[in-house]
Chain A
């Protein structure tokens, strides 16, 4: 599922490896989350938010219309 983790990470000037180490997961998982190829649990989403000083909504919220477009494409 699409998210704004990559954008927030770049703004914070973290590499994928740094973010992964901060959260305690692997770099591959961060990469897959950013690409929308892995859906993290709510617990992991929160840990990402804490590490990037962002709200859950900022990183993971998708409007219903946006989601429908994503499904259609």
Chain B
């Protein structure tokens, strides 16, 4: 029997997924708000649902970046990738140094803070870099 790849059904299925996603997200937000009111902010952020909500929001925004229309008409060459590494390292070192000299904080944490900031800058910069590079290569 020939396999049916019906685009109308696939489209409808996507719409159903969207509805399920909306209901699920509303449920998660409802549960989190309940926790926030009952247990306070500290307990609220410990809830794994909060982490799940953050991960979903990050993934969704990265995916949306791919389909976003260019704001500028002119697409410029993003240059070599090591510049991204340097920028992320600068942010990491600066934040690490601030944490190191910040009074009252444990100095051992400074390295950790710097490393986290480095990674947090590196990932979005890398994604943006590859998107720009792809766009530039397409327009060339």
Contact = CB atoms under 8 A, between A and B. Distances in A.
Contacts of B7: 25, 29, 40-41, 43-44
Contacts of A24: 2-6
Contacts, number: 27
A22 B8 CA distance: 16
Interface residues of A, number: 12
A51 interface: no
A21 interface: yes
Interface in B1-28: 2-9
Q: How large is the interface on B (under 10, 10 to 19, 20 to 34, 35 or more residues)?
A: under 10
A38 interface: yes
A26 B3 CA distance: 10
Interface of B: 2-9
18 contacts: A21-B2, A24-B2, A24-B4, A24-B5, A24-B6, A25-B5, A25-B6, A25-B7, A25-B8, A26-B6, A26-B8, A26-B9, A29-B7, A29-B8, A32-B8, A40-B7, A40-B8, A43-B7
Given A24-B6, A26-B8, 13 more contacts: A21-B2, A25-B4, A25-B5, A25-B7, A26-B4, A26-B6, A26-B9, A29-B7, A29-B8, A32-B8, A38-B8, A40-B7, A41-B7
